[in-house]
């Protein structure tokens, strides 16, 4: 078991420093070339890998080229185009309805405020944060996905379980200039080393400051269960 730094602020800063060194090119892995494509890719990525989404969106983005095209696509046709993606029926519905709202109420432009974005079908705070950060260069919060959720708990930054509560805990302790990068660093480390089922603590740059480190700690703080 590692020993966390004295305060959560210090722990957060140290984690960011070390992960930045380990993953200097960390960034979003979804592919898109405009804000609408970004929004659609993020909606599709819920409970689906970015890799799979990227495979599907290549053809999708060539077929449909604006909010009206998605809004007017028949439900079955769009669902069929997304059929290798989890919950493709629901996601097709969200995309059609979100695009109809964008076309009718926002002059065809993806909104640039949290309030307007979360009004769109299928868009929660997490999706809105990604779109604001990468589509509009507006950083209003921290995107808490499954990796951020797991690592923040394992590393003792929060004891909360739900993404919105975790975000509230993280915002005061992660330096504001790193709110966006914090997510990508956690995702990279979560994929490469601190995986959900079998984290490689022996080869982890955070082992000495991680209270869940498997060498001595008996508990995975992410789940609260024994390793
Ligand atoms: S890999 Fe192990 S030591 Fe590293 S952050 Fe995850 S649980 Fe902690």
Determine which one of 91, 126, 169, 220 is catalytic: 126
pLDDT value, residue 221: 96
Mutate to test the pocket of ligand 1, among 16, 206, 219, 221 (most ligand atoms within 8 A of CB): 206
* Annotated catalytic residue 58: no
According to DSSP H, which parts of 85-174 are helical?
88-105, 114-117, 125-136, 146-154, 163-170
* Annotated catalytic residue 65: no
Largest Cα separation within the chain, whole Å, is 58
Residue 216 above 90 pLDDT?
no
Residue 151 above 90 pLDDT?
yes
Residues in the chain: 227
- Residue 143's closest CA among 104, 113, 186, 106? 186
- pLDDT tens by residue, 46-80: 999 999 999 999 999 999 999 999 999 999 999 99
- Given pLDDT bands bounded at 50, 70 and 90, which one contains residue 217? confident
Closest-lying ligand 1 atom to the alpha carbon of residue 214: 2
Percent of the chain with pLDDT over 90: 97
According to DSSP H, which parts of 137-221 are helical?
146-154, 163-170, 179-192
Instruction: Give the angle 45-34-95 at the CA atoms, nearest 5°.
Output: 45
Cα–Cα distance, 101 to 93 (Å, whole number): 12
CB 206 within 8 A of CB 138: no
Q: How far, in Å, from the CA of 174 to the mean position of ligand 1?
A: 19
Determine which one of 50, 93, 112, 145 is catalytic: 145
Closest-lying ligand 1 atom to the alpha carbon of residue 204: 4
Structure tokens at 212: 């869940």
Structure tokens at 9: 């602020």
Q: How far, in Å, from the CA of 68 to the mean position of ligand 1?
A: 46
Name the closest-CA residue to atom 6, ligand 1. 194
Q: How far, in Å, from the CA of 116 to the mean position of ligand 1?
A: 37
CB-based pocket (< 6 A), ligand 1: 154-155, 193-194, 199-201, 204, 206-207, 210, 212-214
pLDDT value, residue 168: 97
- pLDDT tens by residue, 185-207: 999 999 999 999 999 999 999 99
Average pLDDT over residues 2-22: 97
Percent of the chain with pLDDT over 70: 100
**Is 186 labeled as ligand-binding?**
no
- Given pLDDT bands bounded at 50, 70 and 90, which one contains residue 215? confident
All structural domains of the chain, each given as residue ranges with its CATH number in brackets, are: 8-26+143-226 (1.10.1670.10), 35-136 (1.10.340.30)
Cα–Cα distance, 163 to 150 (Å, whole number): 10
Cα–Cα distance, 59 to 146 (Å, whole number): 27
């Amino acid at each position: 078991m590692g020993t966390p730094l004295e305060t959560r602020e210090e722990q957060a800063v140290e984690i960011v420093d070390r992960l930045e060194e380990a993953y200097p090119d960390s960034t979003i892995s979804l592919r898109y070339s405009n804000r609408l494509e970004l929004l659609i890719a993020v909606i599709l990525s819920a409970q689906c890998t970015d890799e799979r989404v990227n495979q599907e969106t290549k053809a999708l983005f060539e077929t449909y080229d604006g909010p009206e095209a998605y809004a007017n696509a028949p439900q079955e046709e769009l669902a069929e185009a997304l059929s290798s993606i989890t919950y493709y029926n629901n996601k097709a519905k969200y995309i059609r309805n979100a695009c109809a709202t964008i076309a009718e109420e926002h002059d065809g432009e993806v909104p640039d405020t949290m309030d307007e974005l979360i009004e769109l079908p299928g868009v929660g705070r997490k999706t809105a944060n990604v779109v604001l950060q990468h589509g509009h260069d507006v950083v209003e919060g921290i995107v808490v996905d499954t990796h951020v959720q797991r690592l923040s708990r394992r590393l003792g930054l929060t004891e909360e379980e739900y993404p919105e509560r975790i975000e509230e805990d993280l915002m005061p302790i992660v330096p504001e200039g790193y709110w966006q990068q914090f997510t990508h660093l956690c995702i990279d480390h979560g994929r490469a080393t601190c995986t959900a089922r079998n984290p490689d603590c022996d080869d982890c740059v955070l082992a000495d400051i991680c209270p869940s480190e498997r060498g001595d700690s008996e508990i995975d703080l992410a789940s609260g269960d024994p390793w």
